[in-house]
Amino acid sequence: MKKIASLLVVSVLGGALTLGSYKLFFEDEMQFQNTSQQNTTESSFVPVSNSSRAYGMNTDFTEAAEKTVHAVVHVKNVAVFKSGPRSIWEYYPYSNNNSGRALQGAGSGVIITPDGYIVTNNHVIDGASEIEVTLNNNKTYKAELVGSDPISDIALIKVDPDEDLEYIPFGNSDNMEIGEWVLAVGNPFNLKSTVTAGIISAKARDLNMRDNSPQSFIQTDAAINPGNSGGALVNINGELIGINTAISSPSGSYIGYAFAVPSNNARKIVEDIMEFGDVQQGILGIRGRSINDDVIRELDLSTSQGVIVAEVTPGSGAERSGLRQMDIIKQIDNIEINKFSDLTGYINSKRPGDEVLVKVVRDGKEKQVNVKLTKLSTYRIPALGLEVANATKEELEAYQAPNGVRINRMLADNLPSADLVGGIIAEINSQKVTSVRDVEEIMQNRPKSNPIVILYYNQKGEKQRMIWR
């Protein structure tokens, strides 16, 4: 009995100490952290939340689920397909049908305004002859495509509802941290209104694992399956912090790795489409390399994190601000730059004309410079050994070309024809190009084993085709 009594006293004292410690430390911390607000752009075309991050020892997902489940819709795409899925993006099921018949694909979408603007993935509505949206209350609407950006895999569609719709406000994805709880809301396998929970596993994830890639995803272990494409990744406040986009799986189903476009990038693309009709891509004006063991040995570096400036683009904001080759970029504004996808992820949330504060290490000393972002005007095609630039109206008329980009210069000396420089590329693999962004999209999405066929106008105005194998 004495032993039992002693154990009881110890247990009571332990519980009292635990409760006292919790109230002393954690409740004060929660109150302090809930007073801080997220940084958001003042001018916004879509609703943005200003609530603070929520913490708690016993996280409750019911409020976030209730706030968001009615604002995630089922998107149906009726299109004509002649092949099955081609890449990691097309992971919602289509039959491998080569007959060219109309097939129906399904994904998800997120209502972002009460009057019916919906953000989804480009691959959900790509090639659609008809888009149908079903709300959580089973109401169905026909949707129109407002605009899309295949490179980021973001699209904006619109329905005309007969009443205000529930929507999810954008949160600040830059403020999210690894280990925070998130919910994935979508329609996997045509099961409407499904909510799964997980944490943020990584940020600025580059699926291609290569430098100079525009990809920068939030990685989560929340279960995402075919049909979740275009759905919402939300924090426990019910704020949109990502658009679920891809899974990494040999089977096509969830195995623990899922990826979302950060909300800051998606929001910027949506607002560009609303205001300008297309994406306004700001560039720093450098070509960079992430730092790894090989680079450290090659250049005898004393740091293992950051991005090395391999080349500064003439006439760019980087050149005008004084950035130099071999500078190591460590920070942009308040964002730590550990690898190239950190840099591209943040810059892709900005527009031409925006200014960013860049912290670099040069000759062992830190230096800060303000860089004004410029518009993407040139693009290198290593597979062709060419650099292309946006063509002016006068250049197109001079070559009698209906559309195209100008071949700016050669990147290699072994090209089959020297009269390419100055010419106009009008098509790549039978796809019309009107800007360097079109070229970037085509080159990134093409099967790497296939030959490249260009239709171009040479300096004499002659239309020719050339094949690279």
Residue with the two structure tokens 């010419």: 423
Q: Which of 49, 201, 229, 435 is catalytic?
A: 229
How many beta carbons lie within 10 A of that of residue 32, not counting itself?
A: 10
How many beta carbons lie within 10 A of that of residue 69, not counting itself?
A: 21
Residue with the two structure tokens 């993935």: 121
Task: Give the whole-angstrom CA distance, residue 391 versus residue 419.
Answer: 17
Judge residue 352's burial from the number of C-beta atoms within 10 Å of its C-beta, 0-12 exposed, 13-18 middle, 19 or more buried.
Answer: middle
Task: Give the whole-angstrom CA distance, residue 258 versus residue 327.
Answer: 34
Q: Which of 49, 74, 108, 123 is catalytic?
A: 123
Q: Which amino acid makes up residue 381?
A: I
Task: Give the whole-angstrom CA distance, residue 350 versus residue 25.
Answer: 39
- Nearest Cα to 190, choosing from 104, 282, 317, 67? 104
Using CA atoms, how far residue 284 sits from 90, 261, 377, in Å, is: 31, 21, 12
Q: Phi and psi of 96, rounded to 5°?
A: -75, 85
Q: Which of 126, 149, 153, 174 is catalytic?
A: 153
74 is catalytic: no
- DSSP assignment of 130-163 equals EEEEE-TTS-EEEEEEEEEETTTTEEEEE---SS
Strand 154-158 and strand 181-186: the pairing is unpaired
| DSSP SS3 for 345 | helix
229 is catalytic: yes
Judge residue 108's burial from the number of C-beta atoms within 10 Å of its C-beta, 0-12 exposed, 13-18 middle, 19 or more buried.
Answer: buried
Residue with the two structure tokens 């049908």: 97
- Nearest Cα to 154, choosing from 123, 132, 131? 123
Structure tokens at 313: 């683009």
Nearby residues of 415 by Cβ (< 8 Å), 6 or more positions away = 385, 386
Torsion of CA 361, 363, 366, 369, to 10 degrees: -70
Nearby residues of 257 by Cβ (< 8 Å), 6 or more positions away = 201, 219, 221, 247, 248, 249
Q: Which residues pair with 220 in a beta bridge?
A: 200, 258
Task: Give the whole-angstrom CA distance, residue 315 versus residue 163.
Answer: 50
Q: What end-to-end distance do the CA atoms of the chain give, in Å? A: 87
70 is catalytic: no
Rounded to the nearest angstrom, the gap between the alpha carbon of residue 366 and the centroid of all alpha carbons in its chain is: 30
Q: Which amino acid makes up residue 354?
A: D
Active site residues: 123, 153, 229
